[in-house]
Amino acid sequence: MYHKILVTGGSAVTGSALKSIIGDYPESKFFFINSKDCNLVDRDKTIAYVSGLQPDAIIHLAAISGGIGLSMKYPATLLRDNVLMNFNILEAGRLCNVKKIVMTLTTGMYPADASLPLKEEYIHNGHPHESNYGSSFAKRLVDPAIKAYRAEYGLNIIGLVPNGIFGENDNFNYDDAPMVPTLIRRFYENRHGNSKIVIWGDGTPLREYTYAKDVAKAFMWCLNHYNDAQILNIGTTEELSVKEIAYLIASFLNIDTSRIEFDTTKPNGIFKKSVDNSRFISISKFQYTPFKAGLENTIRWFCDTYQKSPESIRMKGKSRIN
């Protein structure tokens, strides 16, 4: 059990979900930070912050991430800044004698032509999909970094691989939000009238989305129970097409699905990236929230918050750094 836990990316969707369940861990004191508290791209500032706090453990959630549009527009920024943040956290952990560090990877890093479902050992067997190669290579580099820092410095570092994440307190900014929050906001703001609601691609790609509170619980389980150098897929294997997800959102918001139009001139992204989470399930016996239930919770939260305090939803400004 760790008594003082630093959580980076504390105001983003997974950090917010973790914040909502800290009552389940009364022995631990959590410190949630975001980019306003410390610029993790800056090595000296990162080390100084961790040195001042002296945590037992770090859960590193902070990242620059977003949908396919962001990934294709800012590949260098995604590669550079994510690599810098990851290594600055590792260096801070090394220099400040942090007992354990949990690093976050992503299924987007797996080779585009890998056999499905994606197993952890496939990570370096080919290039990731061209639509998100910047962030993918940054995340992929975490794997050898874990092994190297464990070998040379004896640090207890683990790497967890969630798939798509969604939930309350997500990023709903049209400029850089992932697919699910983008669709929720777009459908909600256009729920009245008969205009078409346009979605990139043809709707056929299949996606696995894990409810953020499940991701938070999985991270805490691994923090307290998992200590191997092998990265670990922790996301759900429930899979839906983009079209199915769009139709579910429309149904919850009472929108006629005939208003949905798929723009086939826009890219689909990778068609399918199913993961194999059997290693995680075998050791944790973890149970996931069904996608439909998590989506309903998220939409209800968004609608209520939009009506009562819309300023508290991330919908404006440059929010590319979570």
The annotation status of 186 as a binding-site residue, yes or no, is yes
Tens of pLDDT, residues 189-214:
999 989 999 999 999 999 999 999 99
The annotation status of 200 as a binding-site residue, yes or no, is yes
Q: Say if 258 falls within a structural domain.
A: no
Q: Are 41 and 88 in contact (CB under 8 A)?
A: yes
Task: Determine the residue type at 290.
Answer: P
Query: What is the model's pLDDT at position 217?
Result: 99
Using CA atoms, how far apart are residues 52 and 234, in angstroms rounded to an integer? 31
pTM here is 0.94
Using CA atoms, how far apart are residues 59 and 103, in angstroms rounded to an integer? 7
The annotation status of 191 as a binding-site residue, yes or no, is no
* Residues 6 or more apart whose Cβ sits within 8 Å of residue 46: 38, 39, 40, 85, 88, 89, 91, 92
| Residue 105 structural domain | 4-168+209-237+272-289
Q: Say if 33 falls within a structural domain.
A: yes
Q: Say if 106 falls within a structural domain.
A: yes
Q: Are 156 and 100 in contact (CB under 8 A)?
A: yes
Question: Looking at per-residue confidence, does 131 or 90 come out higher?
Answer: 90
pLDDT tier, 316 (very low <50, low <70, confident <90, very high otherwise):
confident
The annotation status of 139 as a binding-site residue, yes or no, is yes
Question: Based on the structure, what is the number of domains in the chain?
Answer: 1
| Res 86 pLDDT > 80 | yes
Tens of pLDDT, residues 63-85:
988 777 778 889 999 999 999 99
We report the CATH number of the domain holding residue 67 as 3.40.50.720
Query: What is the model's pLDDT at position 15?
Result: 98
Query: What is the model's pLDDT at position 65?
Result: 80
| Run of H or E residues at 93 | helix 75-95
| Run of H or E residues at 161 | strand 156-161
Q: What are phi and psi of 135, to 5 degrees?
A: -70, -30
Q: Say if 305 falls within a structural domain.
A: no
Mean pLDDT of the chain: 95
Using CA atoms, how far apart are residues 229 and 155, in angstroms rounded to an integer? 10
- Burial class of 36 by CB neighbour count within 10 A (0 to 12, 13 to 18, 19+): exposed
Q: Say if 161 falls within a structural domain.
A: yes
Q: Say if 95 falls within a structural domain.
A: yes
Q: Say if 137 falls within a structural domain.
A: yes
